[in-house]
Structures are given as structure tokens and as C-alpha cells.
Amino acid sequence: MSLDKEKIKHVAKLARISVDEAKVDSLTKDLNSIFKFIEQLNELNTDKVEPLTSILNQSLRSRKDEISDGKIREKILKNSPKKNEEFFVVPKVVE
């Protein structure tokens, strides 16, 4: 299969990345060559193969459901590009 420009713009929308119109052509070319490479996998019949979902032969540990830290609001807000005293600030969402 091949990816056309419209499809790529749609995927970019899903990924929340704006794509420069001037770059769409070269991006389409690159992605198509990558997908051509990836699609070598279709040579293999995998009907009877179980997908590998974890590389470890153990199930994931779960921790106790209890609070282990807290009162670190300042640390969490420290790197925010825009904040007021207690909150992250984003462009207006609701009119």
C-alpha cells in the first residue's frame, strides 16, 4: 500500500503535529520508502504465532495502592512554560 498526502496530513492531525505544506512531498516520499521496507513482514505467515506482549517471563508487579509522595506542587509546576500560582495555564478552551 502507499500513503498519499491526504493520509499523511490526517495522521499528522491525529499526532497533533502541524506539517509544513512545503515539506509534505518529501515526507510522503520518506514514509513510503520506510513502509515499503516494513512491509517485508508480509512475506511471513504468522497465523499460528502468539504475539509477544512482554519480554520478561513474569507478570508486571503491582504496588500497594497507597500514597507514597505528595506536597510537591512547586516541583511539578517548576518547568511549566506558563503557570499561575497553583495551575498550569493553557489557551482558553471554553468560551
Partner 1 sequence: MNNITNQSLSEILESIKSKKISSLELTQAYIKNIENAKKLNAFVTTTFDQALENAKKFDNKPNNEQLLSGIPLAVKDLFCTENVKTTAGSNILNNFVPSYESTVTKNLWNNGAFLLGKLNCDEFAMGSSNETSFFGNVINPIGDHLVPGGSSGGSSSALAADLTPATIGTDTGGSIRQPASFTGTVGLKPTYGLCSRWGIVAFASSLDQAGPMTKTVNDCSIMLEAMSSFDEKDSTSINKKKESYSKNLKDNIKGLKIGIPKEYRVDNMPKEIDELWEKGKKILKDLGAQLIDISLPHTKYALPTYYIVAPAEASSNLARYDGVRYGYRSQKGKDLIEMYENTRSEGFGDEVKRRILIGTYVLSSGYYDAYYLKAQKVRQLIKKDFDDSFTKVDAILTPSTPSSAFKIGEKTNDPVSMYLNDIFTVPVNLAGLPALSLPAGLDKQGYPLGLQLIGKALDEQKILNIGYAFEKNCGYKNEIKKWWS
Q: How far is the CB of 76 from partner 1 (least distance, A)?
A: 8
Q: How far is the CB of 90 from partner 1 (least distance, A)?
A: 5
Q: How far is the CB of 10 from partner 1 (least distance, A)?
A: 9
Q: Which spans of this chain sit near partner 1 (rule: CB under 8 A)?
A: 3, 8, 11-12, 14-20, 27, 30-31, 33-35, 37-42, 44, 46, 49-56, 58, 60-61, 63, 72, 75-76, 78-82, 88, 90-93
Would you give the end-to-end CA distance of the chain in angstroms? 43
Rounded to 10 deg, the angle between the 5-14 and 24-38 helix axes is: 90
DSSP 54-93: -SSSSPPP---SS------HHHHHTT-SSB-SSSB--S--
